[in-house]
Amino acid sequence: MLHRIEAQDLTGADLVGAHLRGADLRQTTLTRTNLEKADLEEADFSLAALFKASLVQANLRGANLMGTALMLSDLSGADLSGANLHHANLYQADLSHACLAGADLTGADLAEALVEDIELTDASFDDQTVWPDEFDPIARGAAKKQNAE
């Protein structure tokens, strides 16, 4: 069941440990919002702005983050298993110790992201996915999608 969050601007909100499972947060501004340890499983953040947000140890399993702006956000220890990060912007995001097993990273921008001990088993990416310099996603278990001809 999706719960639509009517506030379109939650900039700077303190939502530590919030239970927003399945919430509809499409196109919501969550800049500098604190969502540490929040339950955001299967929430829809498509096209949302989470610039400099804190999502430390958040549960984002199966969340839709398609086209979401997560630049400079802290996702360390977050569970993004099966999340849709298609064309998400994770520039300089902290993904240390995050689990992205089975996540869709096609077209995502992870340039300069911190990826220490990141879990990518069965995650998918393509030629448009941007990785940090000298990072090998295949060595971490991710699979490159073949472009349709």
DSSP letters, 48-90, are -B-TT-B-TT-B-TT-B-TT-B-TT-B-TT-B-TT-B-TT-B-
Separation CA 80–CA 124 (nearest Å): 13
Domains of the chain, start order:
1-149 (2.160.20.80)
pLDDT at residue 131 in the model? 98
- Confidence class of residue 8 from pLDDT cuts 50, 70 and 90? confident
In the structure encoding, which two tokens stand for residue 8, read together? Answer: 């379109």
Q: What is the pTM of this model?
A: 0.92
pLDDT in tens, 24-76: 999 999 999 999 999 999 999 999 999 999 999 999 999 999 999 999 999 99
Is the predicted pLDDT of residue 1 greater than 80, yes or no? no
**Phi–psi pair at 147, nearest 5 degrees:** -70, 135
